[in-house]
Each structure stands twice: as structure tokens, then as C-alpha cells.
Amino acid sequence: MAGLVGLAIIAAIVPLNVAFLVLLERKVAGHIQLRPGPMEVAPHGILQTLADAVKLLGKEMVTPLSTDKIVFFLAPIIVVAPAFVGFVPIPFSPMMQIRDVNVGILLIFSFSSITVMSILMAGWGSNNKYALIGAVRSVAQNVAYEIPLLLATMSVIIMTNTFKLGAIAQAQSSVWYIFLQPVAAIIFFIATTAETNRAPFDLVEAESELVSGFHTEYTGMRFSLFFLAEYTNMVIAAALFTVLFLGGSSGPFFPGMIWFLIKTYFLIFVVMWIRWTYPRIRFDQLMNFAWKVLIPIALLNLLITAIVLKVI
Amino acid sequence: MQYVKEILVGGKSLIIGLWITLKRLFKPIVTVQYPRQKLTMTPNFRGHIEFIRFDDTKTHHCVACGLCARTCPSHVIKVQGEKTRAGDLKYGRQYYIDFSKCSLCGLCVDVCPECTLQFSKEYEYVFYHRWDTVLDIMGRLEGKR
Ligand code: SF4
Ligand code: SF4
């Protein structure tokens, strides 16, 4: 029962949160480029995303003639599932957790792989060369970056001996793991940025070469579902970083929930900040970076962690 | 060694980049919020042509010589003069330009013997129809008074 209530809350919070994040992104982008961002709808454009959402809801859902109908139809539905499931094991505070799943981290990682599948389905089903190239890139990128991501997470796991997110957060009550595992934290951050297809790793939808990548053919509500999933995945990635490296909900004065949200939204801000700072990298650079830099370093880091833990 | 150095140098340049954008995030905005704020056009700005109103006659000095219409490389100008009485001086009565064809070359402004033409500072033009671009220059001068 509590699980159902939690899911209902998530279903209500996720779209609102995405609306807020899209506005935040546009504001950050604007001010970095010395312009004000959306200003027209309501003071300082705070209702802009709502207006956009209404517009998207009102748009016709075009299905091009030569698409693979079933796959094309299913892809945007499947893409939101992991975005919702990802919230289940996240401990917003010791009290605020829908379910402390024994293998919480693995649950999130395994569901996040479904996102890749739905992107591939969207690209394949669209029957469009740009969409297909975007989807194929997405698969290559996600396979490459999942390895350093898991290796960096493993360095934390072998320190705590548990997959439970709540327990990992509590294990950091004395010192945050970002100080004990700085390398793993950086690798984790880079890899999650790549996993969520955010700039500078957004080759999946590189608009200067691929029109809009895998969602080129999607319109109206289906398009917004992809959008919803992208931003929600960003929240989950930031929340995971908070749990693994920033001590979850621990912090002075305020209740845990507030601290958790502060840390998460700060990380999201950093991701946006990065997006508007760096140019998109080339695909071979992307692959080289994963296989030649991130994976060896992550492996080395894991090895050193294991040795140090054994010696102590 | 080269490998480690590359990572460190690259990482440093990434942080410098982040620092630059962070500083810009808190700088005041520089764009002009157009419908609410407007820039004044520079003296050299070229809108469509218009008549200068002179203080002595309180109107233009056009004598409908037709030089501007003949010089215009794009056949933009139509000018019609009028004499009220025999023996009187002719003066410009109707003056139309088709702004969609004007190349803003300025030949008409230069050639006018009465020096009564100039470029306007008008830039907010929206037309719904091709024929809307035909502007009544004389009427604009009257309207301004
Ligand atoms: S500016 Fe040039 S093109 Fe335009 S009306 Fe004058 S002479 Fe013609
Ligand atoms: S050249 Fe000058 S005076 Fe002659 S018709 Fe044109 S505007 Fe009038």
C-alpha cells in the first residue's frame, strides 16, 4: 500500500519537477549567454514550460507512413518506465523512501539500460537515417560508459559491503565518500553524464549533424515523453551521486529531505553548467575517452581500493 | 607519463572553462528586450527614403523633376507633380515608392537637386501583402505634421 502511495506521489512529482528543470536549464543557458532566457509567460517566464506542455499536448501525433508502427508506438512508452522505477529505491531521507530494495543500485542500473533499448526502438522504428544513426550511437555510447560507471560504483560497494542505497548513505555519516573516493566520484559523474546523453556527450541528438537524433520523427506528446525521460534520468543520476558520494540526506540544521534536494539540485545545476560550457565532443573522442581513459582508471581505482581495504 | 600529463592539462583547461561560464552567469544581461526597449538608430542607418521637411515652406522642396525616378536603378519611385496656375512653379503632389524593390543604394538621395530626400530611421515594418510595400511618402510627410 505504501508503495502504491509512493508511486502516485512520484507520478505527480516527476512532470512538475521536469517542468521546473526545463525552465532552470533555459534560465541557466540564458544567463551564461548574457541574455535573460524566457521572460514572456508570467513574471520571469515561470509558467513558460507549462505553456509549452499545453502546446505539446495539443499537437497532432504524426506517424510517418513507412515506420515500424508497433515499435514506433512503444518506444516513448517504454522510455518513461525506468524513469519512474528509478525513484523507488532512492532514500530521500531515512524516512522518505518508497522501498529500501536489497539491490537498489542494481535495480536502477538495470532499468536504466531499458532507456537504451527504447532509444534503439525509437531510432529503428522511425525508419529515418538520422534517427537510426542517433540510436546506434546511443547504444555504443551507453555500452562504453556503463563499464566505468559500474566500476566506480563497485569501489563504493566494496567499502560498504551492501547494495542497499539507504545503508550506503548511512555509512557516510562520518565522512562523505567523495573525500575517500574522489577518482571514483569524478568517473561516476562523467559516466552518468554520458549515460543520460547530456552535453558534451549528447551525440545521440547532435542537432548540428542529426537533426534531432532518435526523436526526429516524434511529435507532440510522444516527443515530450522522451523529454520527460531525459530530465528525470538526470534527476536519478544526480540523486544516485548524492547517495553514493555526498552522504545522502546527512547535513546539519535542516531535515534530511532538504539536504538531499539541495545536493541533488546542485548536481543538476552542475550538469547544466557543463552543458553550456563545453562543445560537443566527436564520436571517436567519446569512444577513446571511455575505453582508453575512464575504464583503465576506474579499474585501477577499484584495485587500489580493494588492496587498501584488505591491508587495513 | 605523457598519458597522465594529458589528463591533468586537459582537466585544468576544463576547470578554467567552467570558471569563465560561472562568472558570466552572474554578469548583467546585454541583450535588448526588444518590444519594451528600443535602440536609437545610428545616423547612417538606411530605412526607406522620405522627405525632409524644411522650415521655410513647412513642407518638402520637391519640384517633381523626376530625376530620382529616372536615376533609380530598380524603378522604385513614382512621382507626380502639379501646377495650380499657369506660370506657377511645379511642385510634387504624389510620391510613391515600392519598398520591396528598393536596394537602398542612395542614388535618389544624391541626385535630388532640391536635396529634399533622406533615409528614414524606420525599421519596424511588417507587411502582410506584397502590395503593402508600396509606401505613400507624401502621405507620410503629411501624417507626421
Ligand atoms: S535608394 Fe536606390 S533603389 Fe531605393 S529608391 Fe533610391 S535610387 Fe531607388
Ligand atoms: S529628384 Fe528631388 S525634386 Fe526631383 S522629383 Fe525627386 S524628390 Fe522631387
Q: How many of the other CB atoms lie within 10 Å of CB of B70?
A: 12
Show contacts of B61-64: CB within 8 Å, 24+ apart: B61/B114, B61/B115, B61/B116, B62/B91, B62/B92, B62/B95, B62/B112, B62/B114, B62/B116, B63/B89, B63/B90, B63/B91, B63/B92, B63/B113, B63/B114, B64/B90, B64/B91, B64/B92, B64/B93
Cα A256-A262-A263 angle, rounded to 5 deg: 90
What's the complex ipTM?
Answer: 0.75
The answer to whether residue B9 neighbours chain A at the CB level (below 8 Å) is: no
Question: Which pLDDT score, from 0 to 100, does residue B89 have?
Answer: 84
Residue nearest to atom 7 of ligand 1 (CA): B72
Question: Which pLDDT score, from 0 to 100, does residue B71 have?
Answer: 92
pLDDT, tens digit (0-9, with 9 covering 90-100), for A5-45: 877 888 888 888 888 888 888 888 888 888 888 888 878 88
**Stretch A237-249: mean pLDDT, rounded?**
85
Which of A33, A34, A293 comes nearest B7 by C-beta? Answer: A293
Return the minimum-mean-pLDDT range out of A18-32, A93-107, A225-239: A93-107
Q: Is the entire prediction scored with pTM above 0.90?
A: no
Q: Do B25 and A31 touch (CB under 8 A)?
A: yes
Give me the sheet containing B91-98, strands edge to edge.
B77-82, B91-98, B134-136
| Inter-residue contact A247 to A176 (CB < 8 Å) | yes
Give percent above pLDDT 90 in chain A: 1
Residue written as grid cell 550538469: A271
In whole angstroms, give the CA distance from residue B117 to residue B72: 13
Q: How far is the CA of B35 from the centre of ligand 1 (A)?
A: 29
In whole angstroms, give the CA distance from residue A67 to residue A274: 35
| C-alpha closest to that of A239 among A96, A90, A113 | A90
In whole angstroms, give the CA distance from residue B68 to residue B105: 12
Note the Cα B23 to chain centre separation in Å.
Answer: 37
Higher pLDDT, A3 or B58: B58
Question: Which pLDDT score, from 0 to 100, does residue B16 have?
Answer: 92
The whole-angstrom distance between A245's CA and the closest CA on chain B is 20
The answer to whether residue B24 neighbours chain A at the CB level (below 8 Å) is: yes
The whole-angstrom distance between A161's CA and the closest CA on chain B is 31
- What rounded mean pLDDT belongs to chain A? 84
Q: Which atom of ligand 1 is nearest to the CA of B107?
A: 7
pLDDT confidence band for A196 (50 / 70 / 90): confident
Higher pLDDT, A208 or B78: B78
Question: Which pLDDT score, from 0 to 100, does residue B144 have?
Answer: 64
The string of DSSP letters for B42-105 reads PTT---SEEEPPPTTTSS-------HHHHH-TT--EEEEEE-SSTTSPPEEEEEEEEGGG----
Question: Which pLDDT score, from 0 to 100, does residue B111 have?
Answer: 92
Question: Which pLDDT score, from 0 to 100, does residue B107 have?
Answer: 92
pLDDT, tens digit (0-9, with 9 covering 90-100), for A137-190: 888 888 888 889 888 888 888 888 888 888 888 888 778 888 888 888 889 999
Question: Which pLDDT score, from 0 to 100, does residue A144 have?
Answer: 86
Q: Which residues of A touch B23 (CB under 8 A)?
A: none
- Ranges of beta strands (E only) in chain A are none
| Inter-residue contact A139 to A175 (CB < 8 Å) | no
Structure-block grid coordinates of residue B30: 546585454
The one-digit pLDDT tens for each residue of chain B (145 residues) are 888 888 889 889 989 988 998 988 888 888 888 888 888 888 888 888 888 888 887 888 888 888 999 999 999 999 988 888 888 888 888 899 998 888 999 899 999 998 888 898 888 888 888 888 888 888 888 876 4
Per-position b or e across A259-269, b if 16+ CB within 10 A of its CB: bbbebbbebbb
pLDDT, tens digit (0-9, with 9 covering 90-100), for A245-288: 887 777 777 777 888 888 889 999 998 898 888 888 888 888 88
**Terminal-residue alpha carbon distance, chain B:** 79
pLDDT of A1 higher than 70: no
